[in-house]
Amino acid sequence: MARGRGRVGIAAFALSLITAGCTDDGSSRPAGRSPDTTASASEVAEGLEFGECGNLIDPAALDRVPADRADHLTIECGVLDVPLDYDDLNGEQLGVQVVRIRDDRQADHIGTLVLGPGGPGQSGLSLAPSWASAVSDQVLRRFDMVTLDPRGVAASAGFNCPPTSRDEEPTLIADLLTPEGWADAAESYQEASAACIEELGADRAGGFGTVAAAHDLDLLREAVGDDQLTFVGFSYGAKLGAEYARQFPDRVRAVVLDGPSHPADDSMGIVERQAAGFEDALGAWAADCPARPTCERIGDDPIGFVRGLMKRAREFPIPSGRPQGDPATGDGDVISGLAALLKSQQSWPVLDDALAEMALGDSGTLREVIERGFGGGDDAPYDERDANMVINCTDARPAPAKADVLRSARRLAGKYPVFGKAFASFLVSCTYWGGEREVLPVPEQVGAAPIVVVGTRHDAATPYAGAVAMARILGSGHLLTWEGHSHTAYLQSSCITDAVDAYLVELEVPAKGTTCPP
């Protein structure tokens, strides 16, 4: 039985917002380039033309937009050319794919609302149909709605790094507290890094970070003709929006950061917060079990059931009954599935079914969840896991010392019995990254117009403390709280949505202490 880890990114599902540590070997450059760079590149923003989307938008997803709304919408796509390197404006250009949704009933047009997807690595184009359904008439009748695939993602120069030797193995958790586990994690991340450097080239790999993506966002603002940006960023998109506000504070009209991670945390702080968040979410899932008919097969001790299943999956990886030929499912894969489905209370019944089926010897449902979360495979043109690693490692701060990692791993394993050991391995996930890095700065006292920061009290992926800190650190942040069990809140809580819409349309900032019920 293979004891190594499978493809590294697949077990990173829960940790998609981690800026994990990278060694400081002198290959990183300081971030915070002057906004004047964009001014000299303003001609890049010219020529963004919209037309038919072709196969860029899933027709089946568009069919789910309510007919009474769809009849009034025009959905068009365009490509914004941006420089790979903003210090070399005449060098290689990337095409950033954009989609625009326009309601023909618009009146008193304000401008363009840009929606930033999560990840990093999530495609905005794939989310456009659901956003077209969910955004209120109040917003759609005042704004064009635009979203994008950020650079390096899907249709915007997305990539799929070559498979490593472990891709067809079960993903098993590497225990950093053992010499074998440390070596195993190191080898796995080294292979993944080398594969992406091979795909992108060492001279290009550092061009896909968040600092550059924020410049792209400003070119998009200029291309659609807005003097200032109106933006809602979800999860990683909140990080992107905060970086935009840091670089271009005078170009902020209204920016909403929904579900941000803690902007000042190092990799150990981020990992600990997320381990705590998912352990708490697991407890909430277990406590709610008696109220869900789907949980009957789990039994009276849901957490014990999960731990037993993980032990079994590690010792005897569980096969999938799907015809795709999935690798067997190890304990690291179980962590990925848990993280994917614990993030939203609406997904808990799916988790119940997936775990119950695994106990009967079929991990197919869990495999489907993981595949749906990342999209693609080794034969696909794009893999979200690879973009996630490349963007995070480009943004990353210097790696913690090995002694500090081991100390943190010991604490995580002791405090968080289900997630701690697995999450600890991500403390070394960027240590072996071979691309140039552009460390993402803390957006401290940026001097922008009021920014609304939305935090969900029981958000496992980006715990609530991150939103509290972001609102404080920005200087002009205003915290809006949802007492929910989900990852992000806008378009999920009607109370949050109403407050955000009032801010987007009327620039009405929520009153201090505004809290929405679950």
- Residue 25 predicted with pLDDT over 50: no
CA distance 440 to 210: 7
Q: What is the mean pLDDT of residues 482-505?
A: 98
pLDDT more than 90, % of the chain:
84
- Give the pLDDT confidence score for residue 32 in this predicted structure: 46
Confidence of residue 374 (pLDDT cuts 50, 70, 90): low
Three-state SS for 330-368 is CHHHHHHHHHHHHCCHHHHHHHHHHHHHHHCCCCHHHHH
403 vs 33, higher pLDDT: 403
- Residue 31 predicted with pLDDT over 70: no
pLDDT digits (tens, 9 = 90+) for 441-477: 999 999 999 999 999 999 999 999 999 999 999 999 9
Q: Is 404 exposed, middle or buried (0-12, 13-18, 19+ CB in 10 A)?
A: middle
Spatial CA neighbour of 121 closest among 55, 195, 209: 209
- Give the pLDDT confidence score for residue 382 in this predicted structure: 82
CA distance 6 to 147: 33
CATH superfamily of 1-268+383-518: Alpha/Beta hydrolase fold, catalytic domain (3.40.50.1820)
Contact between residue 105 and residue 141 where contact means Cβ atoms under 8 Å apart? yes
- Give the pLDDT confidence score for residue 15 in this predicted structure: 42
- Residue 101 predicted with pLDDT over 90: yes
Give the torsion sign (CA, 330, 331, 332, 335). positive
Contact between residue 98 and residue 77 where contact means Cβ atoms under 8 Å apart? yes
pLDDT digits (tens, 9 = 90+) for 164-181: 866 667 899 999 999 999
CA distance 367 to 160: 19
pLDDT more than 70, % of the chain:
89
- Give the pLDDT confidence score for residue 307 in this predicted structure: 98
Triad 240, 382, 318: Cα angle to 5°: 105
CA distance 121 to 99: 17
The whole model's pTM is what? 0.91
With H, G, I as helix, E, B as strand and everything else as coil, classify residue 254: strand
Q: How far is CA 241 from CA 207, 271, 448, 477, in A?
A: 18, 22, 12, 12
Q: How far is CA 459 from CA 139, 234, 250, 423, in A?
A: 26, 12, 31, 17
Triad 422, 233, 209: Cα angle to 5°: 65
- Look over the chain and give the mean of its residue pLDDT values, rounded to a whole number: 90
CA distance 40 to 422: 46
